[in-house]
């Protein structure tokens, strides 16, 4: 079996003449692949989840998503950074859930592990409800393995970067996915934006679902209304005749009885 670090970006190791890319490679390895994470990667490789990590798809303050090669194609491997900064900008209800899960005195690592498990659980719940999301396949420590969303080995772009050929069809499909999320899975995304909706062959795929909350949460309606306002503005710029109220109703807003809106 290869050592864990030997499965990181193997194709790039061949480009010994390109020093700039080698420096970028080293920077990403140093930022995301500390020794415990490498051990988790090694265990997932030994389980057959994937063979090697190819390259980063996206990186941010909270973590990064990487393409990995598996025996039957590709996977997306999400790695959360181990630090408290992940929870600094999260709403109180999320931090409260994490604290309840791991205890009030838990360290940053245990909190991040719980957060990773939460995303795996929510993705599984959404898959069961026929919501279009990446299908999760494994979760270990701060590493989440998911279905790769893309074509020909290239990741699907987020909506904010995608060329939308049929905005009306995309709009109609998106509200169907959100309605299934509300009506079938009993969840509201709570952090939806054009940055965390991927577009694959003209269809939306929801990602970054760890902040999702049950529809009976006191803030659920308010958060869906906020997402509706964001997407109504976005789709109106693309020429779709909609409004925050119309988007809200179409994406599951009628889950709440009229008296609840009063």
List 30, 34, 191, 216, catalytic entry? 191
List 208, 227, 241, 254, catalytic entry? 208
- Kindly give, in sequence order, each residue whose CB lies less than 8 Å from that of residue 198, ignoring residues fewer than 6 positions away: 149, 155, 156, 157, 158, 159, 204, 205, 207
Respond yes or no: is residue 54 known to be catalytic. no
Respond yes or no: is residue 166 known to be catalytic. no
The catalytic site residues sit at 191, 208
């Amino acid at each position: 079996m290869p050592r864990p670090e030997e499965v990181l970006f193997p194709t790039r190791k061949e480009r010994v003449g390109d020093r700039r890319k080698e420096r970028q490679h080293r920077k990403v390895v140093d930022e995301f692949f500390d020794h415990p994470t490498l051990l988790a990667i090694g265990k997932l490789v030994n389980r057959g989840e994937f063979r090697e990590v190819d390259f980063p798809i996206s990186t941010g303050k909270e973590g990064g998503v990487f393409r990995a090669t598996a025996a039957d194609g590709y996977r997306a491997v999400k790695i959360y950074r181990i630090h408290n900064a992940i929870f600094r900008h999260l709403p109180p209800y999320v931090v409260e859930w994490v604290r309840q899960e791991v205890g009030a005195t838990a360290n940053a690592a245990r909190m991040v592990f719980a957060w990773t498990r939460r995303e795996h659980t929510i993705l599984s719940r959404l898959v069961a409800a026929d919501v279009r999301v990446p299908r999760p396949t494994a979760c270990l420590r701060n590493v989440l393995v998911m279905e790769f969303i893309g074509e020909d080995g290239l990741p699907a772009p987020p909506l904010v970067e995608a060329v939308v050929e049929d905005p009306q069809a995309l709009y109609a499909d998106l509200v169907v996915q959100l309605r299934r999320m509300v009506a079938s899975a009993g969840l509201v995304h709570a952090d939806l934006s054009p940055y965390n909706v991927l577009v694959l062959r003209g269809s939306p795929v929801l990602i970054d679902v760890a902040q999702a909350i049950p529809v009976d949460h006191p803030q659920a309606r308010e958060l869906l209304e906020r997402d509706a306002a964001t997407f109504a503005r976005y789709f109106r710029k693309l020429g779709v005749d909609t409004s925050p109220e119309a988007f809200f109703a179409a994406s599951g807003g009628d889950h709440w009885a009229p008296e609840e809106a009063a």
